[in-house]
A and B are shown apart, each in its own frame.
Chain A
Amino acid sequence: MFFLKYMLSELRRRRGRTILTALGLAVGVGLVVMVNALSTGLDNAQATVLRPLTGVGTDMSVSRPLKVTSNGSGGFGSLSKAEQKQLRKEIGGGPGVNFASLGAGSKIDSDTLRPSGDLTFPSSELSKLSKISGVASVAGSLTLTDTHISGTVPKIKITQSQTGGGFRGGGGGFGPASGALNGGSIASSSRTVTGVDQTKPSLAAVTPSQIIKGSYFTSTGHADQAILSTGYAQSKRLSVGSTISLDGKTFHVIGISSTPLGGTASDIYVELATLQKLAKYEGQIDTAEVEAAGASDVAAVSTAVTKQFKNSQVTTAADLASRVSGSLTDAKNLSSKLGMALEIIALIAAVLIASLLTLASVAKRVREIGTLKAVGWSRLQVVRQICGEALGQGLLGAVVGIVVGVAGIAVINALGWTLKATVPAATTSASSAGPGFGLGQAASAITSGSTAVKITAVASIGLIATAVCLAILGGLLSGALGGLRAARLRPGVALRTVE
């Protein structure tokens, strides 16, 4: 094949031009490979951070926070009469200890389980939610704050300045961290307890993947099983095999769960039905975890839920992701904004360089091209020749570009960049439940802090194939420009006498 022989001779013997053109394309291709691989690496890093945060299968959480706006409107007053009544009933019981009946020296050991900010709703809402188009699965959970009071009633000296005596139960809040009373030995502490639907582990408030020690709820005998968060287990020196007491019921600790950054965590997880029964909240939940049929359905489902379920708040995985900040997020934003621009500029520059070099080459080879035409080469054959050479340069550029890109990736990975993902300590809507209810701190606090993620740039076969195509396309484009210029040359240019 003469054309091939001619093309290879041209590429081989005009080494400088070939290398320069190929390098131009290679830099463009290499940059595309590198930026894309880095972008994939950042995506992966972000996914690593967000995966536990968003749960395995949960796409959104539905809750009913009691919202109080900054100007004081909303809140309790915005609720219906029935809801107001329910809320009064829920929180009106004080700490649940009849102090009046206690004499000095009496022992107290009491647990009071109360909703922690979000309003509860009947679990029958779940079946309504599951009927919304695009919903794949739903699961309910109930998070309660357990106010634990223990100690011995102290002897109290009544001074003249004080009126009345003893303790009065009933109304008014009871701060969860009020500490010992009057130098006595009564202590109160609070802990959060979440009841999870263990039949849907992927949607549950604690998922099997979060278990770092022990095991997840077993299919039988789960009624008295408990999973503790690492922090709680450490502070109480509890581990797998320990037992805890909750409102008089003993639970066996079967697992310790890690708390994902940015995720919500409770101190104790037990079976939903058991908690509902224990706290006398049968049939009530405060959160519905929803899995959408597909990622594209999330927005529509979110809108539909908000519309159908009055006063509800939908928190999607994207909302959770937006809590994450730090250098990882900055890098991700930079790569998505600047990366694309860099790739486009690099490719345009590469194609421009290749095109200019090919055009310059055609200009230098005017006599040669004229000669080809004079000896009977058609325009098509001349264009094919020029394009073939450019294509060869493109292929070479692709190969060098991949080497440059892969080398760049190796350098990036060797540098071992670690980026920080930070979740600031945020207040949830629950904490804004407002004064007067004595609801205390939010039950499911977002785990704040930072985590370092190593960036690993990843080149895929698809990416490399794209890069090869881009280089070939760049080569062909430059070849087409050069070829068209060559096609327009008249064969007469081959004759250059002193006329």
Chain B
Amino acid sequence: MMNSSTEPARSDGLAAEPLSSVYELSDVTKVYGSGNTLVRALDSIDLTVARGDFLAIVGASGSGKTTLLQLLGALDRPTTGQVTLLGRDLTTLGDRDLTRLRRDTIGFVFQQFNLIPTLTAAANVEIAMATRTDSAHQRAERVSELLSSVGLADRAHHLPSQLSGGEQQRVAIARALANRPAVLLADEPTGNLDTQTGSEIIELLNQLVESANQTIVLITHEPAVAAAAQRTISLKDGHIITDTHD
């Protein structure tokens, strides 16, 4: 089902090949609030994510999973410490550079799918490419290719409300892959799906890793999903308590 020939053609000018690691986190701390309301969401985290890793982050509610995903997704900055993505220190980048970095190197998959309800499946995929300079024809070809790769070629003109949960998440995965990202970040991708459909999504992600050496980091509550990943880290109170990589 997946297109195995999609070796990313980097548009951000970063030399991806020589780097074996996608992420390098060193001594990362994230604190919310102050005084009595101070919450240490992440506390001195060190983490390396290698190219082609399929990493599952597990942990109870409040353990720091989402905070970690936000830092990895360049959606937030750490209070202290350093986060590098493909060799670039995210803590030193401005908003504009972070926006471009997200567009070109990170694909997001959300628990609620986060599709635009008024747009068709095809337009929802295209939205990730809308800010690029590709021609409309190039974009249309790429959209078609992506929807085919997730098995939804015949659903291109359906609205999200006309698609099943699993189909919506496939559209979201197609959107996440639109710009050939270096890393796919998934936030509870099966959280809103039944077990069967959830398994199919995990299978799809696995294929991505195997066929395209896609790096994937996902958050999950579900042991079955975590078990499907090559590597799992457990968070508790902002600390990594286990890492199957070690």
A337 within 8 A of B: no
- Among B43-51, B66-74, B204-212, B225-233, the stretch that binds chain A is B66-74
Cα–Cα, bound, A255→B187 (Å): 96
Partner of A376, one of B110, B128, B191: B128
A-B contact count (CB 8 A): 102
Contact between A9 and B131, CB atoms less than 8 A apart: no
Partner of B119, one of A6, A374, A491, A495: A6
B179 within 8 A of A: yes
B93-120 vs A, Cβ < 8 Å mask (1 yes, 0 no): 0011001101110001011101011110
A373 within 8 A of B: yes
How far apart are A99's CB and chain B's nearest CB, in angstroms? 103
A1-20 vs B, Cβ < 8 Å mask (1 yes, 0 no): 11101100110111000000
Contact between B112 and A367, CB atoms less than 8 A apart: yes
- Chain A residues contacting B76 (CB-CB under 8 Å) are 490, 492
How far apart are A346's CB and chain B's nearest CB, in angstroms? 31
A496 within 8 A of B: yes
Contact between B99 and A368, CB atoms less than 8 A apart: no
A-to-B contact residues, CB < 8 Å: 1-3, 5-6, 9-10, 12-14, 367-368, 370-379, 381, 490-492, 494-499
How far apart are B45's CB and chain A's nearest CB, in angstroms? 16
- Chain A residues contacting B136 (CB-CB under 8 Å) are 1-2
Cα–Cα, bound, A13→B67 (Å): 34
A374-B118 contact given A2-B130, A5-B123, A381-B131, CB 8 Å threshold: no
Cα–Cα, bound, A13→B119 (Å): 9
Cα–Cα, bound, A367→B136 (Å): 26
Cα–Cα, bound, A495→B71 (Å): 12
How far apart are A474's CB and chain B's nearest CB, in angstroms? 23
- Chain B residues contacting A3 (CB-CB under 8 Å) are 130
- Chain B residues contacting A378 (CB-CB under 8 Å) are 96, 99, 131
Contact between A375 and B127, CB atoms less than 8 A apart: yes
Contact between A368 and B114, CB atoms less than 8 A apart: yes
Which residue of A is nearest B64, CB measured?
Answer: A499
A9-B114 contact given A495-B75, A499-B66, CB 8 Å threshold: no
The 10 closest A-B pairs by CB, nearest first: A376-B103, A499-B66, A13-B118, A2-B130, A371-B114, A492-B75, A9-B118, A375-B128, A491-B75, A374-B108
A6-B116 contact given A495-B70, A495-B75, A497-B65, CB 8 Å threshold: yes
- Chain B residues contacting A2 (CB-CB under 8 Å) are 123, 126-127, 130, 136, 139
Cα–Cα, bound, A12→B119 (Å): 11
Which residue of A is nearest B126, CB measured?
Answer: A2
B62 within 8 A of A: yes
5 chain-A/chain-B pairs, Cβ below 8 angstroms: A6-B116, A373-B102, A377-B99, A377-B130, A499-B62
Contact between B114 and A494, CB atoms less than 8 A apart: yes
Question: With A2-B130, A6-B127 given, can you name 5 additional A-B contacts, CB distance below 8 Å?
Answer: A375-B128, A376-B179, A496-B110, A498-B221, A499-B67
B175 within 8 A of A: yes
Contact between A13 and B73, CB atoms less than 8 A apart: no
How far apart are A389's CB and chain B's nearest CB, in angstroms? 10
Which residue of B is nearest A2, CB measured?
Answer: B130
How far apart are A39's CB and chain B's nearest CB, in angstroms? 42
Contact between A376 and B75, CB atoms less than 8 A apart: no
- Chain A residues contacting B127 (CB-CB under 8 Å) are 2, 6, 372, 375
How far apart are B204's CB and chain A's nearest CB, in angstroms? 19
How far apart are A495's CB and chain B's nearest CB, in angstroms? 5
Partner of B99, one of A6, A9, A376: A376
